[in-house]
Amino acid sequence: MEKQVPSEKELLQKELKSINWKEVDEYPSLSDCDKIESKAQRQQCFFDVLTQLIQEKLSVDTLSMLYPKLDTIEVKVTIFPNATMQFEPQFPKDSVAYDRIKIDSILKARLVDFPKVNPAIKRGIPVKTQFILPVIIKVEK
């Protein structure tokens, strides 16, 4: 009985094909959410806390005074493996109503001093993740 031993390359290719590269093993997290056991609830906690922090930082009147019609802004959040974050406002393609550079600079100025974020984990290694959060700017009083 002779059995062919698969080569190292074959094994590697098989393993790489079996990995779902679109999903992470652990989502980014904040210390407030780390104690939650459920992966889905921990992810929701992270998104809720991060959205709330962004809303609080942007609630200073600047944006709502400059753009009274702007009530929600979509922010693309990138979390890098070294736990740094980057924020980019997302605008409709045909939007000329907003000064993108001005809004971007307001975001960069306001969105600082966040609590430490633990990056997402894939197979034990920190990885870069991106997602878009709808952030409510104007809350009706």
The reported pTM is 0.75
| pLDDT for res 141 | 45
pLDDT tens digits, residue range 36-91? Answer: 888 889 889 999 999 988 888 877 766 767 777 777 888 899 999 999 999 888 87
How far is residue 87 from each of residues 65, 70, 99, 110, 131, measured CA to CA in Å? 21, 18, 16, 10, 10
Residue 115 to residue 30: CA distance in whole angstroms: 7
